[in-house]
């Protein structure tokens, strides 16, 4: 069945590609979708994401809304008028909301079924501490009026159920991998790999949860190792550590990631296991398996299902031990090619959207 969906994202379409982008692209193939997203005035952290087949509507907000209440209220009123006009014009079956931060931007009366896609524990972001109570109230109201609540992880589902109730509304839709995202022709990239130098690579957003102490431990312990970090930076509470063997490459085109990864000897996910991270199902781990390299990551319960592919550590000493084994053993993976291909085939965004469509069918009775 084909549905009309107003899909409201909380990040710019050209931000590092993540769950909202992939779901919007796949849903657009079978449904009448309008993707509404906030236009980011600072474009230096962005890349150029694919637009084919996706109807995009950027909405503009006055800058500094996070610092000044008057500007934030103006932004809310402006978007509420725009959203009201768009919803009256399109009369969607579903309105998809990717963050409780956007809920106050919506008109108070919506005839469509609301979907809340909870991909992170928004209350656990350090940047949201000062407004945690207001966000908690918005989230509680959003869940109350939503017909469906999708959660990206089991831990996230359990936390929402504990603090807001409505357990019958929750469906876990894990993150996934997008094969077609790596089929575009890569740009010309100079990898500059040198003999006797081994490269550990990271792909993803670099933010407050990043374990920079782990990076320094690695380069101090192993003089033959470089660390290459690919992705935008945001909400950092400390300065990026400066070291000649820690390279910050910034955001790159998604299609170029395979070429960059070909120059890595192993892939790393050095996170601090914060309240926020406990609920994260990292897209990067799915992509890391595709890149076909050894993978080392901090361990927490939500990602233990990756144990056939990832070498986990619980402290810095364990991390150093794993990397030392890579160096002495020739950077061998713990998984076979057959296991890799089976994992990729069963964890695509197409699989996830098929499950989403089964759930939407349960709530597709007319809302008008």
- How many other CB atoms are found less than 10 A from the CB of residue 136? 16
> Tokens 């694919």 — which residue?
50
According to the model, what pLDDT value does residue 368 have?
Answer: 44
What pairs with residue 225 in β-bridges? Answer: 198
What is the widest separation between alpha-carbon atoms in the chain?
A: 66
Q: What domains can be seen in the chain, in order of their start residue?
A: 4-176+348-361 (3.40.50.2000), 180-346 (3.40.50.2000)
Q: How do beta strands 113-118 and 94-97 pair?
A: parallel
Nearest to 352 by CA among 281, 288, 275, 301: 281
The pTM assigned to this predicted structure is 0.87
φ and ψ at residue 197, rounded to 5 degrees = -115, 130
Nearest to 289 by CA among 153, 155, 176: 176
Is residue 268 a contact partner of residue 202, using CB atoms and an 8 Å limit? yes
Q: What is the DSSP string of 137-161?
A: HHHHHHHHH-SEEEESSHHHHHHHH
- DSSP-based three-state secondary structure for 91: coil
Half-sphere exposure at residue 175, Cβ-oriented, CA atoms within 13 angstroms: 24
Is residue 222 a contact partner of residue 249, using CB atoms and an 8 Å limit? no
Is residue 142 a contact partner of residue 8, using CB atoms and an 8 Å limit? no
Nearest to 290 by CA among 229, 340, 345: 340
Nearest to 26 by CA among 142, 181, 224: 181
What are the structure tokens assigned to 341, written together? 């291909």
What pairs with residue 36 in β-bridges? Answer: 8, 57
Please give the chain's pLDDT, 368 residues, in tens: 899 999 998 888 888 778 999 999 999 999 999 999 888 777 766 777 788 888 998 888 777 776 777 888 888 888 888 888 888 888 999 999 999 988 877 887 888 899 999 999 999 988 788 888 988 999 999 999 999 999 999 999 999 999 999 999 999 999 999 887 776 655 556 565 677 899 999 999 899 899 999 999 999 999 999 999 998 888 777 788 899 999 999 888 777 888 899 999 999 999 999 999 999 999 999 999 999 999 999 999 999 999 999 999 999 999 999 999 999 999 999 999 999 999 999 999 999 999 999 999 988 755 44
Cα Rg of the chain, angstroms: 21
- How many other CB atoms are found less than 10 A from the CB of residue 368? 7
- DSSP-based three-state secondary structure for 188: coil
Determine the Cα–Cα distance for residues 197 and 178; give it in Å rounded to an integer: 31
Q: What is the DSSP string of 92-126?
A: -SEEEES-GGGGGGS-S---SEEEEEE-S-GGG-G
According to the model, what pLDDT value does residue 74 have?
Answer: 86
Question: Where would I find the beta strands (DSSP E) of 68-220?
Answer: 94-97, 113-118, 148-151, 170-172, 198-203
């Amino acid at each position: 069945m084909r549905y009309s969906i107003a899909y409201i994202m909380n990040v710019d379409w050209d931000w590092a590609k993540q769950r909202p982008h992939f779901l919007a692209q796949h849903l657009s193939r079978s449904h009448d979708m309008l993707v509404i997203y906030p236009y980011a005035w600072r474009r230096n952290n962005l890349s150029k994401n694919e637009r084919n087949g996706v109807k995009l509507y950027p909405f503009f907000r006055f800058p500094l809304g996070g610092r000044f209440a008057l500007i934030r209220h103006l932004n809310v009123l402006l978007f509420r008028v725009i959203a009201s006009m768009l919803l009256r014009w399109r009369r969607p079956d579903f309105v998809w909301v990717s963050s409780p931060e956007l809920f106050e931007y919506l008109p108070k009366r919506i005839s469509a079924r609301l979907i809340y896609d909870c991909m992170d524990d928004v209350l656990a972001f350090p940047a949201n501490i000062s407004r945690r109570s207001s966000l908690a109230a918005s989230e509680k109201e959003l869940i109350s009026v939503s017909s469906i609540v999708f959660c990206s992880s089991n831990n996230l589902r359990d936390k929402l159920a504990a603090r807001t109730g409505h357990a019958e509304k929750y469906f876990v839709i894990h993150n996934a991998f997008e094969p077609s995202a790596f089929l575009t022709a890569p740009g010309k990239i100079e990898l500059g790999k040198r003999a006797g130098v081994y490269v550990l690579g990271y792909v993803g957003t670099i933010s407050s949860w990043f374990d920079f102490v782990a990076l320094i431990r690695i380069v101090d312990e192993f003089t033959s190792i470089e660390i290459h970090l690919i992705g935008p930076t945001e909400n950092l509470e400390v300065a990026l550590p400066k070291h000649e063997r820690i390279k910050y490459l910034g955001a790159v085109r998604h299609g170029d990631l395979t070429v960059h990864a070909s120059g890595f000897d192993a892939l790393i996910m050095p996170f601090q296991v914060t309240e926020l991270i406990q609920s994260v199902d990292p897209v990067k781990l799915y992509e890391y398996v595709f890149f076909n390299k050894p993978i080392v990551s901090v361990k927490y319960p939500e990602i233990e299902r990756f144990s056939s592919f990832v070498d986990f550590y619980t402290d810095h000493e364990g991390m150093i031990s794993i990397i030392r084994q890579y160096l002495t053993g020739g950077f061998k993976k713990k998984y076979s090619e057959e296991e890799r291909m089976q994992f990729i085939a069963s964890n695509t965004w197409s699989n996830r959207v098929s499950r989403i469509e089964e759930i939407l069918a349960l709530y597709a009775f007319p809302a008008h």
